Structure 1
Amino acid sequence: MKIVKHSGSIVEFNRDKLKSSLLKSGAGTQVVEEVLNVIDSQIYEGITTKKIYKLAFSLLKKSSNSHAARYNLRAAIQMLGPAGFFFEKYIARLFISEGYLAQTNLFLSGRCVGHEIDVAVMKNNYIEMIECKFHAGSETNSDVKVPLYILSRFNDVKDRNHTIFTKKDKISACWIVTNNRFTSDAMTFATCSGLKLLSWDYPQKGSLRQRIDEDRLYPVTCLTTLTAVEKDKLLVLDIILAKEVSDNAEVLVKIGLSTIRIKNVLKEVAELCKYM
């Protein structure tokens, strides 16, 4: 059966691929098969992947809010836009969870010109810069022009003294992080140039998706018990991760939630963050 992707391209419906993504939500085999059976009965020639996704999401939500939240992860990261400012904060949180110190939104003087740097991280006195390439749509990939441009910026700021964590910090390496994917040319050039890449599914071991699951770094935007407006309010209050909600439950009162809704949100967060 032919289905239509977000990009408009037409592909064969891949039931196994859908099953794999449903299982990654944490739902059991029986629940996943029930969801797939309903979808099998409702899909038709020319249906969009967006409609299939919405149907799968609603069916999972009936089973468990946390399963639906996890299934919604990639879309939830896209909600850290539209400009990507909150995505930069999110990536900083990811590195902090792995033992780094992090600073965001920096302006550093290079040998030739000044540069806005998204994130700088330090571990064992080794400092790296991180450039975040945020895409609001799921079909947009970062091509070879991205590492070409960022390499020139890295070369301009490296080996100079900067005031980031101390007064004499030198940047020794550079990451490029995207919420989508890199083209093959971008990966080849980055590897050849010594740049580090992190995307939704790259590298094969330690991809963005894997690191999120392993460290339980689910963004607050994936919670199904909150409205889009409420999620935006939390982001403005610097609540970026779902688990930060349970550590700062009073913010739910601040954004106007009732006692019953607060209980539901905290239950979803607890189920979500205990996964794996």
Structure 2
Amino acid sequence: MKIVKHSGDVVDFEPEKLRKSLMKSGADSLIVDDIVNKINKEIYEGIATKHIYKRAFGLLKKEANSHAARYNLRAALQLLGPAGFFFEKYIARLFSAEKYEIRNNLILQGRCVSHEIDVLVKKNDVIAMVECKFHAGREAASDIKVPLYVLSRFNDLKGKEHVIFSKEETVSKCWIVTNNRFTSDATEFAKCSGMSLLSWDYPKNDNLKTKNDIDCLYPVTCLTTLSIAEKDKLLILDIILVKEIMNNSNCLEKIGLSAARIKNVLKEVRELSRCVLKL
């Protein structure tokens, strides 16, 4: 059976690939097998992958909102736009969870020109600049032009002293992060140039997908019990991660939810705060 991807490419339908993606939602194998069997009976030649995803999402949601939320992660990252400001905050939270000190949106003077840096992180006395490349479209990829451009900015900044965290410090490392993917030439150039990359699926065992499932770092935009407008209100209140609602549940009152809806949201929050993968 042939299916059509978001990019327009026509590929074979692979039930096992669907099964693996469903298992990452936290649903047990019996539920996953049942969903795969139902979708197997419903697909037809030329069906779009987005329709398969929508059907799988709906079936998962009937079992548990948290399963659907995890399955919805990539789409949830796209809701951190449209300009990517909240994506930058989200990435800062990911580094903070790994015990980095964080600074957002600083302007640093290089040898030639000044640069606005999305995120600056510090750990073990090493300071790195983090450039965030947000894509609103699912198929967009960061190609070699991105690390070429970022490397030129990094070279202008490194070796020059700046007041960043508490004293005159220098930037000595560079990260590029995207919610989508890097092309192969972008990853090769970055490796050769000593730059670190982080994307939806790169590096293989330490990417945005695995960081979320291992450390429960889900963005609030993945919650299935909230509308898009309500998620936006939480982001404006600087509630970026689902787990931040646990100790700040009054934020749900601030965005106008009823007591009954707050109860439903908190149930999903508690379930998402139980990680499904372990190192």
Q: Do both proteins adopt the same fold according to a TM-score greater than 0.5, normalized to the shorter chain?
A: yes
Q: Aligned pair count?
A: 276
Distance 2:69 2:192 in 1: 37
Distance 1:2 1:83 in 2: 35
**Amino acid in the other structure paired with 1:60:** L
Distance 1:54 1:162 in 2: 48
Secondary structure of the equivalent of 1:248?
Answer: coil
Distance 2:28 2:17 in 1: 16
Secondary structure of the equivalent of 1:165?
Answer: coil
Retained in 2: the 8 A contact 1:160–1:170? yes
Retained in 1: the 8 A contact 2:239–2:245? yes
Distance 1:156 1:60 in 2: 49
Paired position in structure 1 for 2:107: 107
Distance 1:12 1:136 in 2: 26
Paired position in structure 2 for 1:229: 229
Retained in 2: the 8 A contact 1:161–1:167? no
Is it true that 1:71 corresponds to 2:103 in the alignment? no
Paired position in structure 2 for 1:265: 265
Coordinate RMSD, CA, aligned: 0.8
Distance 1:145 1:223 in 2: 34
Equivalent runs, 1:61-100 vs 2, <5 Å: 61-100=61-100
Is it true that 1:149 corresponds to 2:149 in the alignment? yes
Moved more, 162-171 or 54-63: 162-171
Distance 1:207 1:236 in 2: 26
Paired position in structure 2 for 1:208: 208
Retained in 2: the 8 A contact 1:5–1:49? yes
Equivalent runs, 1:11-30 vs 2, <5 Å: 11-30=11-30
Distance 2:190 2:147 in 1: 6
1:138-161 deviation digits (Å, cap 9, x = unpaired): 111111111011000000011111
**Amino acid in the other structure paired with 2:29:** T
**Amino acid in the other structure paired with 1:46:** G
Distance 1:221 1:208 in 2: 15
Q: CA deviation at 1:201?
A: 1.1
1:82-128 deviation digits (Å, cap 9, x = unpaired): 11110000000000001011111111111001111110001122110
Q: CA deviation at 1:14?
A: 1.4
Distance 1:245 1:45 in 2: 43
Secondary structure of the equivalent of 1:34?
Answer: helix
Paired position in structure 2 for 1:182: 182
**Amino acid in the other structure paired with 1:275:** C
1:187-211 deviation digits (Å, cap 9, x = unpaired): 1110000000111111112112111
Paired position in structure 2 for 1:191: 191
**Amino acid in the other structure paired with 1:26:** G
What TM-score, normalized by structure 1, do the two folds share? 0.98
Paired position in structure 2 for 1:166: 166
Paired position in structure 1 for 2:59: 59
Secondary structure of the equivalent of 2:47?
Answer: coil
Secondary structure of the equivalent of 1:171?
Answer: coil
Distance 2:76 2:48 in 1: 19
**Amino acid in the other structure paired with 2:121:** V
1:249-275 deviation digits (Å, cap 9, x = unpaired): 001001000101101101101011112
1:29-65 deviation digits (Å, cap 9, x = unpaired): 1100111111112111111111111100000000000
Between the aligned residues of both structures, percent identity stands at 66
Distance 1:9 1:136 in 2: 19
**Amino acid in the other structure paired with 2:35:** V
Paired position in structure 2 for 1:41: 41
1:161-181 deviation digits (Å, cap 9, x = unpaired): 112112312101000011111
Secondary structure of the equivalent of 1:225?
Answer: coil
**Amino acid in the other structure paired with 2:205:** K
Distance 1:82 1:207 in 2: 22
